[in-house]
């Protein structure tokens, strides 16, 4: 059980770090897709509005990760809670990919 909560805390902190540490200055090195664009395409890409979406998504993922782990731990046994929590970490990325297509 301790390993589960340490993992959850690590993932939540990682999501927060991703959300807060990626900015306009380092996006050209760290954002997949953006880092392979030509300079001309980068100038046309709305990086400021994309980063607002990006930061909001990862901040919310951090909170979602913690809350869902607590909820699943209360409802299920540890092994089941871990599996469900892991699956629930993947689902929001479907939303992320479709929303990213707007940019």
- pLDDT at position 54, please? 95
**What per-residue confidence (pLDDT) applies to 103?**
86
User: Cα–Cα distance between 27 and 62 in angstroms, integer?
Assistant: 20
- Spans of all domains in the chain: 2-100
Residue 45, pLDDT score: 93
Tokens of 2: 């301790």
Q: What is the pLDDT of residues 15-68, one digit of tens each?
A: 999 999 999 999 989 998 898 999 999 999 999 999 999 999 999 999 999 999
| Three-state SS letters, the chain | CHHHHHHHHHHHHHHHHHHHHCCCCCHHHHCCCCCCCCHHHHHHCCHHHHHHHHHHHHHHHHHHHHHHHHHHHHHCCHHHHHHHHHHHHHHHHHHHHHHHCCC
- Give the model's pLDDT for residue 1: 79
């Amino acid at each position: 059980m301790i390993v589960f909560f340490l993992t959850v805390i690590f993932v939540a902190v990682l999501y927060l770090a991703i959300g807060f540490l990626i900015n306009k200055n380092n996006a050209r090195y760290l954002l997949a897709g953006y880092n392979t664009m030509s300079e001309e395409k980068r100038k046309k890409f709305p990086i400021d509005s994309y980063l607002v979406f990006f930061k909001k998504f990862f901040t919310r993922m951090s909170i979602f990760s913690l809350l869902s782990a607590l909820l699943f731990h209360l409802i299920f046994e540890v092994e089941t809670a871990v599996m469900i929590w892991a699956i629930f970490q993947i689902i929001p990325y479907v939303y992320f990919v479709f929303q990213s297509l707007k940019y």
